[in-house]
Amino acid sequence: MSKFIFVTGGVVSSLGKGTAGASIGKLLQLSGIKVNMIKCDPYLNVDPGNMSPFQHGEVFVTRDGAECDLDLGYYERFLDVQTTRANTNTAGNIYLTVLDKERRGQYNGGTVQVIPHITNEIKKRFTAFEKDVDVTIVEIGGTVGDIESLPFFEAARQMKLERPGNVFSIHLTLVPYIKASDELKTKPTQHSVIKLRELGINPDMLICRTDRPLSDDIKQKISLFCSVPEEAVIEAMDQKSIYLIPENFYQQNADRQIIKMLGLKTKQKFDTSWFKFINENLEHKETVNIAIVGKYSELKDAYKSVNESLFLAGMSGKVNVHILYVNADKSDVVERLKDAHGILIPGGFGPRGMQGKIDTVAYARETKKPILGLCVGMQCMMIEAARRAGIKDADSAEFNPKTKHPLFTIMEAFAKEDDRPRVGAFPLDIKKSTAAHKIYGADKIEDRHRHRYSLNEKYLPALEKAGIRISGRCGDIAEIAELENHPFFIGVQYHPEFGSRPMKPHPLFRDLIKAAKEYKNKK
């Protein structure tokens, strides 16, 4: 029978349940155990696709087109899996599924209730991978006691009752330091566990977030008052990098305790290559500055996968990456690019900050600084080129619906789909003898998209006049554009940031960092 690990949180949100769960999953993987992860978000939105990044951070996109929480990016980067719709669930989606069944008469006229109808649907989602993996790790978002998350906790309680010996509960809490009394306080953890027990769940392991080491006395106190073995009180101190967390848990025998309690069988000698790579490449002697020019620069989580992709590319490229966040709305955009060795314009919707991004493109072209444009970044690159070719009022219909020269227009297939974008992985053909082909080293690739607008081909002659070459396509859709006689000037319609992994950075990010390093050394 497949095993399940539930990761819950208490005291405050944003303690790192996603990275903690992914780190546990990584340790199990390194023993040859097959793992996948599921995220359960308690909010009533069907998905975060319509939510502002200021509300929710980055919207991550799965291979099959689900718009979901940024924690799935952690799952993919740590576990090297490709997530799907089955990896993400929201309360809104679950309630919608149950109510649709009720409207179709599938409950035979019965009264529809949270228990058993909602909880049964949740348990069905929990078991999506049980035939394919040894362990499913389920992260329940929010904190214990949140009214929205109660059905998820109840479903987890039922799973533990129905599958004795096959379900393990991890609770993540905060052990805060109080400066006035110069001591760590365990009471928030105690109260969080009490609340969890009120819902019928006894934790098997506590992961305690702290900014300083937990003494043996503190661990003994938590163990005693929370009825958890002392060795199962895991210290989770702040780390220089999230990629050090698996080794931290390994040193405290967290994985071996789980393997023993769940009766798992390891399938290989523990592989320490992850630890070796992270420790050897976490810091290097040389640093390059990469400017991210976007409209959400105040919120780093809005570009979480971009940030991680740059960092991972730096690790493999033997260079530290220092990110300069540049607000595209401000008047000093170009001035703030002076210290950058490379530039990236990330995705985003709406016209805000467009002129700043277009000015950024012109600056990178003139100074020969490496630049990578993602989705809307590619639009800015093409608009700058078209205007330079003589079409002074060229624009995108996304930003200016009344423009006389719509360089980017909504794709016909998506014009009547209630504003839903083209989302998910699509195949691309890459032209030989292009910069893109050299970067990828392949004629055909696949990458993930989230957009509704594409290049209007009637403006291609003008773009070619400005030195632009279309080097990649998905059918008739222009997907990759590059500028001739520039060391690195690439715009892509898709989102390569979702494909980066430790030890396997995405080729576009890998070569952007390489070009930035060469630019710095040349200067």
Catalytic residues: 375, 495, 497
Q: Reduce the DSSP state of residue 238 to 3 states and report it.
A: coil
Q: Cα–Cα distance between 489 and 482 in angstroms, integer?
A: 6
Q: Which helix (H) or strand (E) holds 472?
A: strand 468-474
> Cα angle at 227 between 223 and 232, to 5 degrees?
55
**Residue 2, number of CB atoms within 10 A of its CB:** 15
Query: Phi and psi (nearest 5°) for 188?
Result: -60, -40
Q: Report which of 339, 333, 371 is spatially closest to residue 352, judged by C-alpha positions.
A: 333
Q: Cα–Cα distance between 287 and 275 in angstroms, integer?
A: 22
Q: Report which of 400, 329, 336 is spatially closest to residue 363, judged by C-alpha positions.
A: 336
- Burial classification of residue 191, based on how many CB atoms lie within 10 Å of its CB (0-12 exposed, 13-18 middle, 19 or more buried): middle
Structure tokens at 450: 């989230």
Helix 376-388 vs helix 354-367: angle between axes, to the nearest 10 degrees?
70
Q: Cα–Cα distance between 68 and 37 in angstroms, integer?
A: 13
Q: Cα–Cα distance between 443 and 247 in angstroms, integer?
A: 38
Cα-atom radius of gyration of the chain, to the nearest Å? 25
Q: Cα–Cα distance between 294 and 333 in angstroms, integer?
A: 10
427 with 474: CB under 8 angstroms?
Answer: yes
- Identify any residues that bridge with 8 across adjacent strands, giving them in sequence order: 171
Query: Phi and psi (nearest 5°) for 70?
Result: -65, -15
| Identity of the residue numbered 497 | E
Q: Cα–Cα distance between 188 and 175 in angstroms, integer?
A: 7
Q: Cα–Cα distance between 87 and 36 in angstroms, integer?
A: 8
Q: In the chain, what is the greatest distance between 2 CA atoms, to the nearest angstrom? A: 75
Structure tokens at 359: 């000015």
HSE toward the beta carbon, residue 280, CA cutoff 13 A:
10
Taking each continuous run of H as one helix and of E as one strand, the counts in the chain are: 17, 23
Q: Cα–Cα distance between 290 and 460 in angstroms, integer?
A: 30
